[in-house]
Amino acid sequence: MSNPQKQKAKEPEIIDATDSSDDHSESEREEHGGELDAAGETVAPSPSTSSKKKKKKRSKAKRLLNAIRGKDEIPQEVVDQVLDKVKAEGGPGSLEANAENIREALQQMKIMDVVQGKAGIGGFNKKDLGEHKFWGTQPVPQLGDGPTLEDGYIEPSKPREEVRQEPYPLPKDFEWTTIDVNDPAQTKEVYDLLTFNYIEDDHAAFRFQYTAEFLAWALKPPGYHKEWHIGVRVSSNKKLVAFISGVPMTLRVRKHVIQLSEINYLCVHKKLRSKRLAPVLIKEVTRQCHLKGIFQAIYTAGVVIPTPVSVCRYYHRLLNIPKLVNTHFCYVPRNMTLARMTRVNKPPSATSIPGLREMEERDVVPATQLFTEYMKRFDMAPLYDVEDIRHQFMSGMGEGEMGSGGAGRRERQVTWSYVVENPETGTITDFFSFYSLPSTVIGNTTYPTLEAAYLFYYATDAGLKGGQEQDQILKNRLLSLIGDAVIVANQANFDVFNALTLMDNMPILQELKFGMGDGFLNFYLYNWRTSPLAGMNSEGGVPAGRGVGVVML
């Protein structure tokens, strides 16, 4: 399935712009025996040698590709080990796993690693994995480092007077600006920049479509700092051409509680990515955080840079099948018709849990207590107080009556938050939330917008005592709770409901008819070292998903 999530796109990935193409120019010329023209094609040094070199290169490429495709390249013992692990973990698709499709998957992964530049014939290429000069200078775990023996900072904090006081220099003709997200005109500049220059999917078919309401919700949590909303303008016409943001967060990483910044929305105008603005933006937002006494950060990317603390995979619950097929988000399987595919994926018409209703102001305190208790299950999770909960789950609920913005929606609604109130005791036993982030369908006049819902946070008091029996109680409750979230999203005319392999999602995704997507999200910690956290795979005895309890927007 295609996906409009955070991954490397057809245009150069934004955070990957820290690597200069100039680093490769000389080696490319030497390898090809000629200069590269503006279109990236090789200009032959002479007609007499051109055909021989092309034939030689084609022959070499063919031999290498045939070697990759050869089934002997994946030893049977490797296939057996992977199959045993898949069966043991019991994740989505484990029941259908066999030696043949495991071998096929491994073979496809190997070929695609070479095609995408992640590996050479001899294995992974460290530079392609993100060993750029910039990240080699930063306080982050480096690729190839040994196992983490003890959690903690990489570089110590500094007193404010030792922090750089002046902004980092920009290339000629550019200047810094602080974005006031309370100013509608400046907010529009940001979402225009993001809409046309931010993340696309691999096939450049989908692009996130931000709104002023979404940015207000994402960039103005309690205690936010305006200095952490940083832009770059063209000096001559003041046009906004780059942006990066940070917002404060209290994060627990295993036993440590850290005050840090959540870094997001690093975006450089497509036509200016050769200016190497991304590293300067990262250094400047880091400087601004240091001035506030914050020396750690959390961020995500669809590409691999030094060094992920966890990797999660996107899953998709298809809702509007005809539209999703038309926009090439998914396809009709060979053994199925469009009508049958639509029928099979149709959610129930009504929710199933008694006492389910929209979250209200009176629910904020009990929801905070429920959230605090439930999030103890995960190795990395935010610590939210009452004001945080009010902001995260209620500030984006829109204006007017339900239905004023269309079926199941208010005007300018960003978040949907629901609680379960016990009909007998009046206590809040569960809640769930999801948010809206539509995508532009590039070049599609029939369906120009894809309405996507993203699973946000949820909590329940069921099955929290531990043990196999309690785990089953929890799973059954989440099947009902998140199943009702899918129904609510369908009633609000969302086209697809997306979720990541984090929190307690893994055991329920397959039964709720979520399909595996082709997008991955890498989680990173800046200036903090810890051993890998369980995301799409289990780690250190922690079940898959349970290492990551933080949802990044």
Q: Are the C-beta atoms of residues 423 and 354 closer than 8 Å to each other?
A: yes
191-195: list long-range contacts, CB under 8 Å, 24+ apart: 191/215, 192/240, 193/240, 193/241, 193/242, 193/243, 193/267, 193/269, 194/243, 194/265, 194/267, 195/440
Cα–Cα distance for residue pair 521/7, rounded to 1 Å: 7
Strand-pair partners of 459: 431
Selecting among 106, 291, 479, 553, the annotated active-site residue is 553
Query: Hey, how many other C-beta atoms are within 10 angstroms of the C-beta on 143?
Result: 18
The answer to whether residue 143 is catalytic is no
Q: What does the CA dihedral 271, 276, 282, 287 come to, rounded to 10 degrees?
A: -120
Cα–Cα distance for residue pair 525/308, rounded to 1 Å: 8
Strand-pair partners of 450: 439
Query: Hey, how many other C-beta atoms are within 10 angstroms of the C-beta on 489?
Result: 26
CB crowding 415-431: b at 16 or more within 10 Å, else e? bbbbbbbeeeeeebbbb
CB crowding 366-384: b at 16 or more within 10 Å, else e? bbbebbeebbeebbbbbeb
The contacts of residue 149 (CB under 8 Å, 6+ apart) are: none
**Concatenated DSSP letters of 223-281:** T--GGGEEEEEETTT--EEEEEEEEEEEEEETTEEEEEEEEEEEEE-GGGGGG-HHHHH
Largest CA distance in the chain: 88
Cis peptide bond prior to 307, omega within 30° of 0 = yes
Cα–Cα distance for residue pair 262/392, rounded to 1 Å: 14
Helix, coil or strand: residue 420: strand
CB crowding 268-293: b at 16 or more within 10 Å, else e? bbeebbebbbbbbbbbbbbbbbbebe
Question: Tokens 């045939």 belong to which residue?
Answer: 66
Give the residue numbers marked as catalytic.
553
